[in-house]
Amino acid sequence: MTALMRNRSTTGGFLGTSRQSAAVLLAAAGLALSASNLQAQVREVVWLYAQNCAGCHGANLEGGQTDSLLDDRWIHGRGDDETLFRIIRDGDELNGMPPMKGDLHDAEIRALVVFIREKAAQAKNAQAVHHQPVDGQVVASREHRFRLKTVAEGLATPWSVAWLPDGRLLVTELPGTLRLSERAGSDLKPVAGTPTVRFKGQGGLMDVAPHPGFRTNGWLYLAYAEAGATAETRDSGMTVIARGQIQNQNWTREQTVFRAPGWSYRPGGVHFGCRLVFDAAGHLFFAIGERGHMQDAQDLSRPNGKVHRVFDDGRIPPDNPFVGISNALPSIWSYGHRNPQGLDQHPVTGELWETEHGPRGGDELNLIRRGANYGWPIITYGMNYNGTPITALTSQEGLEQPVVHWTPSIAVCGIAFYHGKRFARWRNNLLVTGLASEELRRVVVEGHRVVEQELLFKGIGRVRDVATGPDGLPYVVLNKPDKVVRLEPE
């Protein structure tokens, strides 16, 4: 590919008029913005591409005066994000690409990189053939042949799966129902008396996890969205962690494990998290999204946008990183997260891995470290949903980098390291779900690097969760259609 080009004679006058008009309107309203903020206010990525790139690379990135941006042929390096950003900004006169840094600020250039990635992926997906299996159909993946089998259907937005030690299956439904099979392999029945949830948008009844010592203590943990308790917070919500026991299909002995201060509840229906993970030492990890208030992810006095760590009864471990720090919640383990909806421990190293939704682009797989800042919204590989930039920064000293980021977004959700024996060559691989992309991926992790990704299937529903069952088989939660399937070796 030759570098990006733009038509100077067409662009210059238009940009000048646009900025002057916006400046006049803002001045009349008594507002003052820097030049870079003004550009971010009035220009979004489709317009930026049309004005600066389409004249040479084509209206649909298909090529024109110069090469297409939809293929994987690159002059400079491997076509990575950093190189593409640099070529747009600084130009490549040898290949006919003028620098754009005089007309575009860095955040806009970042948005163009995301836009190019989106369009290239869409073109590639339109030509690709993906496995879309129905029940009983054999899929030949790289390492194993498998078929799907439906184990539960007719559900209402199932969110997560888990098992009791005797093999009985648990399924949560987002509107608020916890279902449990009466015996291994039987139909799922509702459990009565579970907590009242705030079912709005992305919030409701989310994760379920039995205590590692369930055989002796009977504790079962739930993560759910709760409405505020006062008149001032009634229209707001936050993620709550509770535990209880089940007797004769009834929820009993409920105890609160984590409830945020009432003043921290946020309105809206987005970004609640949440997954539950126990480590070998008896700590409970859980994640809460930033509830649509991106600045909260950096505020240690607020619970949202964080991964938390508590003892199984909610007490604070004394070695948590922010214990004793003024204006910091002591349950916080890491921060700077947008909307974590995947959390699991590596079965060999015990390290905690997390996936979180980016904005438009920049979904992340992270290795979670004690006290670390994962950067949202200071750094991101994505942009706003409306095509305007968030920031030019994808890295900054002191902020963690994702192990992998997906642009365009796959709407990454639940994850699970496969630890069964039925698919021997998948052992310790990470299974990764995608909602909007409707896919299940197999991700090979070596140390702290991803060395391979394989798309196992795509296009049979929104893939919400994945887990290894007691039979050693991967179970997958689908939305639209709302059912649970498992992968069986062929």
Tokens of 51: 């004005």
Q: What are phi and psi of 171, to 5 degrees?
A: -135, 130
Q: Are 233 and 221 in contact (CB under 8 A)?
A: no
Domain boundary among 77, 93, 127: 127
Which of 131, 271, 308, 405 is the catalytic position? 271
End-to-end CA distance of the chain: 43
- Residue 485 belongs to domain with CATH number: 2.120.10.30
**Residue 133 within a domain:** no
Domain boundary among 103, 127, 151: 127
How many other β-carbons are positioned within 10 Å of the β-carbon of residue 216? 7
**Residue 35 within a domain:** yes
Tokens 């949903």, located at residue = 385
pLDDT in tens, 357-387: 999 999 999 999 999 999 999 999 999 999 9
**Residue 175 within a domain:** yes
Q: Are 294 and 377 in contact (CB under 8 A)?
A: yes
In terms of pLDDT, which residue wins out, 412 or 74? Answer: 412
Spatial CA neighbour of 241 closest among 325, 164, 150, 306: 306
Q: What is the pLDDT of residue 77?
A: 66
Q: Which contiguous run of DSSP H or E holds residue 108?
A: helix 106-127
The whole-number average pLDDT for the span 418-426 is: 98
User: Does residue 153 sit in the same domain as residue 257?
Assistant: yes
User: Does residue 163 sit in the same domain as residue 72?
Assistant: no
The dihedral built from the CA positions of residue 234, 237, 242 and 248, taken in this order, carries a sign that is: positive
User: Does residue 316 sit in the same domain as residue 461?
Assistant: yes
pLDDT in tens, 9-61: 222 222 222 333 333 323 323 333 333 444 445 589 999 999 999 999 999 99
Q: Are 388 and 426 in contact (CB under 8 A)?
A: no
User: Does residue 344 sit in the same domain as residue 435?
Assistant: yes
- Residue 123 belongs to domain with CATH number: 1.10.760.10
User: Does residue 260 sit in the same domain as residue 342?
Assistant: yes
User: Does residue 197 sit in the same domain as residue 100?
Assistant: no
How many domains is the chain built from? 2
Q: What is the pLDDT of residue 184?
A: 75
pLDDT in tens, 140-179: 999 999 999 999 999 999 999 999 999 999 999 999 999 9
Spatial CA neighbour of 463 closest among 442, 444, 489, 448: 442
**Residue 19 within a domain:** yes
Q: What is the pLDDT of residue 66?
A: 85
Residue 151 structural domain: 138-489
**Residue 33 within a domain:** yes
pLDDT in tens, 119-128: 999 999 888 9
**Residue 132 within a domain:** no
pLDDT in tens, 403-416: 999 999 999 999 99
Domain boundary among 127, 149, 164: 127
**Residues 6+ away with beta carbon under 8 Å from 448:** 367, 403
Q: Are 440 and 456 in contact (CB under 8 A)?
A: yes
Q: Are 146 and 452 in contact (CB under 8 A)?
A: no
Classify residue 159 as left (phi > 0), alpha (psi -120 to 50) or beta: alpha
Q: Are 112 and 45 in contact (CB under 8 A)?
A: yes
User: Does residue 116 sit in the same domain as residue 183?
Assistant: no
What is the strand order of the sheet 449-458 is part of?
412-417, 430-434, 439-446, 449-458
Q: Are 146 and 460 in contact (CB under 8 A)?
A: no
Active-site residue 76, yes or no? no
User: Does residue 304 sit in the same domain as residue 384?
Assistant: yes
pLDDT in tens, 257-267: 999 999 999 99
User: Does residue 294 sit in the same domain as residue 166?
Assistant: yes
- Given 3-state DSSP classes, what are the helix, strand and coil percentages for the chain, each rounded to the nearest 5? 20, 35, 50
Q: What is the C-alpha separation between 79 and 100, in angstroms, rounded? A: 18
User: Does residue 175 sit in the same domain as residue 37?
Assistant: no
**Residue 2 within a domain:** no
Percentage of residues in the chain with pLDDT exceeding 70?
A: 91
User: Does residue 345 sit in the same domain as residue 470?
Assistant: yes
User: Does residue 340 sit in the same domain as residue 399?
Assistant: yes
Spatial CA neighbour of 368 closest among 391, 400, 396: 400
Spatial CA neighbour of 264 closest among 296, 219, 308, 218: 296
Find the Cα–Cα–Cα–Cα dihedral 275, 279, 282, 284, rounded to 10°. -20
**Residue 237 within a domain:** yes
Q: What is the pLDDT of residue 34?
A: 39
